[in-house]
């Protein structure tokens, strides 16, 4: 077995490494391990097209793999690298642990092979938007920011590029999910960012306490030379970070005396001077003001000037699949918010509009109680709800007669129904509140499908 107790001395050359899960992150980890001289074997129990295609890609790189099963060969290993889709209580995990095989996640593994500073962003909502804002803010004369992680680019892929073509002044801006923290050992960001905490992924973690524990593993190796940037408007986060050795750097929509604070007109600096007018911020929405304050606070810790931070706030317009206004057809506005995979995100989305909203909800439930949406729906402009997919029945039952609702089978039917229900001046909003995995590989595929179906209306 490989001794992984000391990050600085981990040598995998000629060691047998099994990579479990051949999605994007697992495939990238296998290629990185192979480049570092390991004898790599990839395995995925799925036989869907993308996994099979990734297996063929590994073969082209002279890496053995199997798909559609986990054979006994997976246990002939000195180390396992686990993709985030594999839960820590899976039977094969327990068997590997019983045989004494060390197990790490892809984020942990990739972090062994770079000394560039890491800024890690997690939270229940706002991660991806904050990562994109932060990356733009940190892209400067002295820093070359590189995005990776849960936002769709494997960390291993980025680290391999750094190994092949070393560059000065790199800084990794990583989006981190709770799944990616289940198997961490040495992972230690320079700055750890928490946007917020609310119930999410309870189908995987079981309880809110366990979910929070997974999130907090991101800072377990940080000491007094690190920074924790956190949302001081979130009571649960305040308790979670209290007493940590790292320097705490709060951001808030309500508190003053912080690196940046906000009043009715301006975002202000610590000295009380206006940074810029709230009206000059390109990205709309109260929740995005919080994301801006979070990114600005973190960028300031990275040495970025107030002027550059303000310029990004004036020009950053958003991220695909996050409240993306992509079409107006017959005076009906279509919004793609496919990234909204929990109820908090849906609540934020529906409060963003002052026009009648036709809301599309559905997919695979992650353990949410859809009745919690009722007060938010009643205080919003939602007029119609279309539910679809595996969770369609649960949503329909939870909504009851709070607003007019229709249950359909799939997203295609939901788009057609929305077209029929929407009147000129309305908003059709896909904000599913669920995972995509009943019909799609990920939220990006779901969002793209939604946009394609909507745009087909223009040629009918």
Q: What is the pLDDT of residue 177?
A: 87
Q: Is residue 301 part of a domain?
A: yes
Q: Is residue 149 part of a domain?
A: yes
Residues 120 and 166 in one domain: yes
Q: What is the pLDDT of residue 322?
A: 86
Q: Is residue 26 part of a domain?
A: yes
CATH for 25: 3.40.50.720
Residues 333 and 306 in one domain: no
CATH for 141: 3.40.1190.10
Q: Is residue 401 part of a domain?
A: yes
Show the domain range for 22: 10-101
Residues 349 and 243 in one domain: no
Q: Is residue 3 part of a domain?
A: no
Q: Is residue 2 part of a domain?
A: no
Residues 218 and 329 in one domain: no
CATH for 426: 3.90.190.20
Residues 83 and 224 in one domain: no
Residues 223 and 121 in one domain: yes
Q: Which residues contact 198 (CB under 8 A, 6 or more apart)?
A: 124, 125, 342, 344
Residues 169 and 281 in one domain: yes
Residues 138 and 83 in one domain: no
Q: What is the pLDDT of residue 447?
A: 97
Q: Is residue 5 part of a domain?
A: no
Write down which residue in 315, 338, 358 finishes a domain.
Answer: 315
Q: Is residue 1 part of a domain?
A: no
Query: What span, in angstroms and rounded, lies between the C-alpha atoms of 22 and 28?
Result: 9
Write down which residue in 101, 133, 157 finishes a domain.
Answer: 101
Residues 359 and 303 in one domain: no
Q: What is the pLDDT of residue 203?
A: 64
Residues 275 and 410 in one domain: no
Residues 256 and 119 in one domain: yes
Residues 140 and 224 in one domain: yes
Structural domains counted in the chain: 3
User: How would you write the pLDDT of the chain (460 residues) with one tens digit per residue?
Assistant: 898 988 888 999 999 999 999 999 999 999 999 999 999 999 999 988 889 999 999 999 999 999 999 999 999 999 999 998 888 889 999 999 999 999 999 999 999 999 999 999 998 888 889 999 999 999 998 999 999 998 789 999 999 999 999 998 999 999 998 888 889 999 999 999 999 887 555 566 568 788 888 889 999 999 999 999 999 999 989 999 999 999 999 999 999 999 999 998 999 999 989 999 999 998 877 788 999 999 999 999 999 999 999 999 999 988 889 888 899 999 999 999 999 998 988 998 998 898 999 999 999 998 889 999 999 999 999 999 999 999 999 999 999 999 999 999 999 999 999 999 999 999 999 999 999 999 998 999 999 999 999 999 876 5
Write down which residue in 101, 120, 144 finishes a domain.
Answer: 101
Q: What is the pLDDT of residue 89?
A: 86
Q: What is the pLDDT of residue 37?
A: 97
Query: What span, in angstroms and rounded, lies between the C-alpha atoms of 370 and 393?
Result: 11
């Amino acid at each position: 077995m490989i001794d992984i107790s000391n990050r600085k001395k981990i040598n995998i050359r000629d060691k047998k490494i099994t990579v479990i899960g051949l999605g994007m992150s697992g495939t990238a980890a296998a290629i990185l391990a192979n480049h570092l001289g390991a004898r790599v074997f990839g395995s995925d129990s799925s036989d869907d097209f993308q996994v099979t295609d990734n297996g063929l890609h590994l073969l082209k790189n002279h890496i053995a793999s199997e798909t559609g099963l986990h054979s006994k060969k997976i246990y002939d290993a000195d180390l396992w690298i686990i993709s985030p889709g594999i839960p820590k209580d899976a039977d094969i995990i327990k068997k590997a642990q019983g045989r004494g095989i060390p197990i790490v996640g892809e984020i942990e593994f990739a972090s062994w092979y770079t000394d560039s500073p890491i800024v890690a962003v997690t939270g229940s909502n706002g991660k991806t938007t904050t990562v994109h804002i932060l990356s733009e803010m940190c892209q400067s004369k002295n820093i070359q920011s590189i995005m990776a992680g849960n936002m769709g680019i494997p960390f291993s892929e980025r680290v391999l590029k750094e190994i092949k073509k070393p560059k000065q002044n790199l800084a990794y801006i990583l989006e981190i999910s709770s799944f990616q923290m289940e198997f961490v050992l040495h992972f230690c960001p320079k700055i750890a960012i928490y946007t917020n905490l609310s119930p999410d992924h309870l189908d995987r973690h079981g309880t809110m306490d366990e979910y929070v524990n997974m999130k907090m593993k991101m800072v377990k190796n940080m000491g007094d030379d690190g920074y924790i940037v956190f949302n001081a408007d979130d009571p649960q986060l305040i308790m979670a970070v209290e007493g940590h050795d790292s320097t705490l750097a709060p951001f808030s929509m309500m508190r003053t005396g912080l690196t940046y604070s906000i009043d009715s007109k301006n975002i202000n600096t610590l000295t009380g001077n206006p940074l810029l007018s709230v009206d000059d911020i390109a990205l709309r929405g109260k929740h995005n003001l919080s994301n801006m304050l979070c990114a600005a606070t973190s960028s300031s810790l990275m040495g970025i000037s107030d002027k550059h931070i303000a310029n990004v706030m004036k020009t950053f317009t958003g991220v695909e699949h996050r409240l993306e206004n992509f079409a107006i057809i017959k005076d009906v506005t279509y919004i793609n918010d496919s990234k909204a995979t929990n109820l908090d995100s849906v609540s934020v989305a529906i409060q963003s509009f002052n026009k009648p909203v036709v809301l599309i909800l559905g997919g695979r439930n992650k353990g949410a109680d859809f009745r919690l949406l009722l007060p938010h729906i009643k205080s919003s402009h939602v007029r119609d709800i279309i539910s679809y997919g595996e969770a369609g029945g649960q949503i329909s039952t939870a909504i009851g007669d709070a607003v007019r609702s229709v249950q359909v089978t799939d997203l295609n039917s939901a788009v057609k129904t929305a077209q029929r229900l929407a009147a000129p001046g309305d908003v059709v909003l896909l904000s599913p509140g669920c995972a995509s995995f009943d019909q799609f590989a990920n939220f990006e595929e779901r969002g793209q499908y939604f946009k394609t179906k909507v745009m087909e209306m223009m040629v009918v």
